[in-house]
Structure 1
Amino acid sequence: MAKYIYETTGDFDKFVTTVRDLAQDISATTNYEDGHQFGNTSTLMVFERYSIAGSSRVSLSVMVTKIDGMIQLVAIPSGGSQAIAFKLNNIGEEAFLQRFKESLETSRKTW
């Protein structure tokens, strides 16, 4: 399973809004499923999209935290496997994570 970690500085709430908007704009099938904010310094968001490559839905869990002035993000994809006992064909997961990473890293810093 792949994982993406990103660190930045700035306004926590604006960054969370930017992340949510970027993730939803990845494809027409991407949905914000649910999330939860823990106080002022941690937010969990879960996104889901349809993967044509895997003919299934894949999810992306994104956790954003602010610690000592640094904003840290971790994104972990899951789902999309076509096997029962082990992972097979996780192309959709990797593509979702890669598109999210590219979107975040190429976006103009507005937070």
Structure 2
Amino acid sequence: MAHYEHVLRGDVDSFVAHLDSTIPAGSISASLEDRADQRIGDARMVVRMYERYSALGGNRVSLCISVLAVGDEMSVSAITAGGSQAVFWKLNTVGESTFLQRGVDAILSFPR
């Protein structure tokens, strides 16, 4: 499992639209698998789950990006999972790290 956190400012809808177009564009097998959008008062939580095939690991890898937004302030968490064929421990995490880097690149390329 690989993890990244970042804080930024901007419009959450524009940010999520940017993620939804940028992350799947990085791989022919990448796709947006599911989404959630919740509100409590002024706070909004947006979750996106992406998945892609990892040729190196021979399996699928998922990337979950959660955005907590209040006004134009956003706190983003990106976490990957999958990418290993071992039963009791992870032997190959390259697929996870590569997919996480795709998510990080998308987060950091958001035009502010």
1:89-104 matches, cutoff 5 A? 89-104=92-107
Query: So what's the TM-score if we normalise by structure 2?
Result: 0.88
Is this contact kept in 2: 1:7–1:70, CA < 8 A?
A: yes
Runs (4 or more) in structure 1 with deviation over 4 Å come to none
Q: Taking structure 1 as reference, are residues 51 and 3 closer, same or farther at Cα in structure 2, changes over 3 Å only?
A: same
Q: Which runs of 5+ in 1 are unaligned?
A: none
Deviations 1:64-111 (A, max 9, x none): 111364111110000111101111111100110012212332x2505x
Map of 2:27 onto structure 1: 27
Separation of aligned partners in 2, 1:30 and 1:78: 14
Map of 1:56 onto structure 2: 59
Separation of aligned partners in 2, 1:38 and 1:103: 22
Q: Percent identity?
A: 35
Deviations 1:19-64 (A, max 9, x none): 1211111211101000110126111110000111111110001101
Is this contact kept in 1: 2:52–2:61, CA < 8 A?
A: yes
Equivalenced residues, count: 109
Query: So what's the TM-score if we normalise by structure 1?
Result: 0.89
